Amino acid sequence: MDVLFSTEISVNLFQIMALLVLSTVALLYGLTRLALFINYAFILYWGYLSNFDKVYDTQIQALPSFSGAYVFFGFMIILLASFALLVNND
Model confidence pLDDT, tens digit, residues 57-75: 555 555 566 667 777 887 7
Cα 32 from Cα 21, distance rounded (Å) = 14
* pLDDT tens digit sequence for 7-21: 666 778 898 899 999
Give the list of residues 6+ apart from residue 33 with CB closer than 8 angstroms, or none.
85, 86
Give me the long-range contacts of 48-55 (CB less than 8 A, separation at least 24). 48/74, 48/75, 50/9, 50/11, 51/7, 51/9, 51/10, 54/7, 54/8, 54/9, 55/3, 55/4, 55/7, 55/9
- The domain ranges of the chain are 2-86
* pLDDT tens digit sequence for 26-37: 999 988 888 888
Asked if residue 1 has pLDDT above 60, the reply is no
